[in-house]
Structure 1
Amino acid sequence: MARICVITAGHLATCPRMLKAADTLAAAGHSVRLVSTRHVDWAVAADADVRRRRPGAWKWMEVDYSRATAPLARLRGGARYHLARRLSALLGPARASMPLVLRGYARTHPELVRAALSEPADLFYGGTTGAIGAAAEAGRRAGVPFALDLEDFHSAEQAGGADTALGHGLAERIEKDVLPEARVLTTSSAAIAAAYGNKYGVHPVIVHNTFPLPSRPPALEASPGDGLRLYWFSQTIGSGRGLEHAVRAAGLAGISGELHLRGRPVPGYLESLRSLADKAAPGLRILHHAPAPPDSMVETCAGHDVGLAVEPGFSVNNRLALSNKVFTYVLAGLAVILTDTPGQREFAAGLGDGAALCPPRDTPAMAALLARWAHDKTSLARAKAAAWRAAQRRWHWEHPEDSGALVGAVEKALR
């Protein structure tokens, strides 16, 4: 039995990938300690729900920089972060010192390292943007191996101006420093693995963002009538995620129905989306739901017809990623509409009748898909059943190519 410290720069409830890693490695017989952060008010209760469902499964340490419970730590960390970014921008990421780069990239880098090193470990495994450098530093200082999870292609993750370019430059500097030394790398899609391989000559193990099979099979009946119940979720509901195109497509298709959105909306966004629906898709109701704990995500998808994974490809990473949405949808027995991006194309082909592809931002193509399933409920029921069969056959966390691949990679790192 090894002592493994799993590190994430997010909350337990907002980082299901590292949460599953902790659960799986503990179930494999290892002694697991998970280090996470506390900074988002709504996620605190969700974190408590996560812990309540796992009494004694693994140890947990928080780095608190919440405005409500640790205002001084938040102020101190924020000042350090912004100063480090300004200095890194002035010097350039390639010339700035590594301590400066790390503090300009991750707001809680020193605190995560300190928490990770507070108890002995045989391996540090870090995932999410701000924890990659922390896991590497903890491993180096403790003289033990470290492993890294590259869920996203961090050096091309966003789109934007000078600050985005700075963030990408800092990410690239850190990746060049730590990836060659990592004992094992994991990632979330074949396309992202290939991108890291092309850029750095590394070979990450693919561990998809799948979820455990539900205890009961989902209901696969299509909703009655000509309407559709559409579903989409994310931590943040805002522009640039394809939702505006989905609304316009529903209007162009002339269908009625509901678009259910789960997450925290950007201020004013729901109002603008509903205003768009009033003009472009008057038969479509937009309903908002609060964020749900990670253990409830499949359950909250149930009862809908179609899950939307309509990323517009706004950045390199957005084109390469295979969203965790799709794995949740199929486990709930939803048909899936996906945009035809390099990250999603192969997955869609594997779903067969359970998936439909459309080019990014192609409103008429998406409208045709929605119209087909709205007016042919037999075809929709067939698609829902095909998605569920694919989930049972391959796309669930218990599959040896996902949880098994993770355990195998980590145990290889320990040898």
Structure 2
Amino acid sequence: MSARICVVTAGHLSTCPRMLKAADALDEAGYQVRVISTRHVAWAWEADQRARDRRSWPWRVVDYDRTSARLRQLATGARLRSAQAVAMAVGPARAPLGIGIRGYSRVHDELVAAIAAEPADLVYGGTTGALAAVAAGAHRLGARFALDLEDFHSAEQSGAGSVLAHRLAERIEAHVLPHAAFLTAGSPMIAEAYAAKYGVRPRAIHNTFPLNLHPPSVPDGPLKMYWFSQTLGPGRGLDDLVRGIGLANVRAELHLRARPLRTYAAQLAALAQSSAPLLELVLHDPAPPDRMIALAQGYHFGVSVEDGEVLNHRLCLGNKIFTYLAAGVPVLMTATPAQSRLAADLGQAAEVYENGSIDALARIVRRYADDPRARCVAANAARAAAERRWHWEHPEDRGALLQAVREAVG
């Protein structure tokens, strides 16, 4: 009988493509896979269901949505706030570990119960709120566990509450990471950061995606750029992008796919009107993960901007980059350490500028707006880079995950 593997995310199925790809890869490899995710955001739940319709593995949902599971939403929120208050009062380092875990993960207990509800030989999970739950659930089952560290969790937030969250993350990571059968990380620099901090050895598995084998599309007309995320809000580098396009003084389109925060969307539109009158802003609704590569086609650049103020932003290589490459679209990105290292490999498939350097950004925009041949060269380079290395089926990504699982389950 093939090994039984439980794949866990504390987020929505549609907002955690790493765990979705892992479940698919393990299912295709012949393992008995079941998946656990959560429900708490209406639009993401709709995308979850569309993603699930195309798959056959069993799926269990921990629901704490305010409309479909109001009592659980209230109860888990109260538990989270109470645990955080205790941790703040006595200090994150002195608080009992159980309090720290529940102050860090809203639905820890519910995830543990879902994991332990059915047998498994290996529990593999990622996202912030699942770290301790994966270990605890596996312990109840007498199974091994493995963790995916897509982000550097002890330095991934900013603003109110970030110090407490980071200190609790350190407590939890120090407790669970050394006991994992294996660890995966979202980028080489995140793997290096975990190795330096905890003495562990995560395998870097990039946020790559299956190739779209259609020839790259290089549309005529004004320069078309594309960006996507879960939320359209401040701190994403989009203000600088609008200013850079305005300084370039060229006709361009900037397509944004996300759930907009109303006040910010209005502010960005006002900025475009005043600073970049030749720019057309186009807003798109979020889409299921299985459609993201196709929806990224038909643009001259995909945009990946990180501000670099948060350490995790300097270390990560996000989904955007590899979505664009899989679609045959070159990448415009800020020069964080991780993105700069990748850009050296991508060559003509990437353009990099220092965060805040509006002049440098404007020069890039102007050059590609004026030179159709440069657009074609960049698009062909993007497709070549994806085919050579940057796709999910590569032995160092999908293959590395399958190898780690084989070693863990024997």
Q: TM-score, normalised by structure 2?
A: 0.98
Aligned to 1:18: 19
Match of 1:338, SS state, is strand
1:189 maps to amino acid: S
Aligned to 1:116: 115
CA distance in 2, matches of 1:158, 1:337: 24
Are 1:126 and 1:132, in contact at CA under 8 Å, matched by a contact in 2? yes
CA distance in 2, matches of 1:131, 1:187: 15
Match of 1:356, SS state, is strand
CA distance in 2, matches of 1:222, 1:388: 15
Match of 2:73, SS state, is helix
CA distance in 2, matches of 1:412, 1:306: 40
Are 1:223 and 1:305, in contact at CA under 8 Å, matched by a contact in 2? no
CA distance in 2, matches of 1:30, 1:50: 20
Are 1:223 and 1:229, in contact at CA under 8 Å, matched by a contact in 2? no
Aligned to 1:36: 37
Query: What pairs up with 1:143-292 in 2 under 5 angstroms?
Result: 143-161=142-160, 163-214=161-212, 216-224=213-221, 227-292=222-287
CA distance in 2, matches of 1:314, 1:288: 27
2:14 maps to amino acid: A
Match of 2:13, SS state, is coil
CA distance in 1, matches of 2:26, 2:188: 23
Are 2:216 and 2:379, in contact at CA under 8 Å, matched by a contact in 1? no
CA distance in 2, matches of 1:244, 1:152: 24
Match of 2:255, SS state, is strand
Match of 1:379, SS state, is helix
CA distance in 2, matches of 1:369, 1:407: 40
Are 1:222 and 1:380, in contact at CA under 8 Å, matched by a contact in 2? no
Aligned to 1:407: 402
2:26 maps to amino acid: L
- For the aligned residues, what is the CA RMSD? 1.0
CA distance in 1, matches of 2:218, 2:299: 9
Superposed CA deviations along residues 119-158 of structure 1, whole A, max 9, x for unmatched, are: 0110111100001110011122222211000000000001
Match of 1:219, SS state, is coil
Percent identity between matched residues is 53
CA distance in 2, matches of 1:218, 1:100: 53
1:43 maps to amino acid: A
1:198 maps to amino acid: A
Aligned to 2:368: 373
Superposed CA deviations along residues 160-215 of structure 1, whole A, max 9, x for unmatched, are: 24x1100001101100100111110000111101100111111101110001112x
Match of 2:14, SS state, is coil
By how many angstroms is 1:16 displaced? 0.6
Are 1:14 and 1:294, in contact at CA under 8 Å, matched by a contact in 2? yes
By how many angstroms is 1:320 displaced? 0.5
By how many angstroms is 1:316 displaced? 0.1
Q: TM-score, normalised by structure 1?
A: 0.97
1:313 maps to amino acid: G
Query: What pairs up with 1:52-67 in 2 under 5 angstroms?
Result: 52-54=53-55, 56=56, 58-67=57-66
Are 1:259 and 1:286, in contact at CA under 8 Å, matched by a contact in 2? yes
CA distance in 2, matches of 1:191, 1:409: 19
1:217 maps to amino acid: H
Match of 1:262, SS state, is strand
Aligned to 2:95: 96
CA distance in 1, matches of 2:397, 2:79: 38
Aligned to 1:125: 124
By how many angstroms is 1:335 displaced? 1.8
Structure 1 gaps of 5+ residues are none
CA distance in 1, matches of 2:90, 2:8: 29
2:67 maps to amino acid: A
Are 1:240 and 1:314, in contact at CA under 8 Å, matched by a contact in 2? no
* Paired residues, number: 409
Are 1:220 and 1:385, in contact at CA under 8 Å, matched by a contact in 2? no
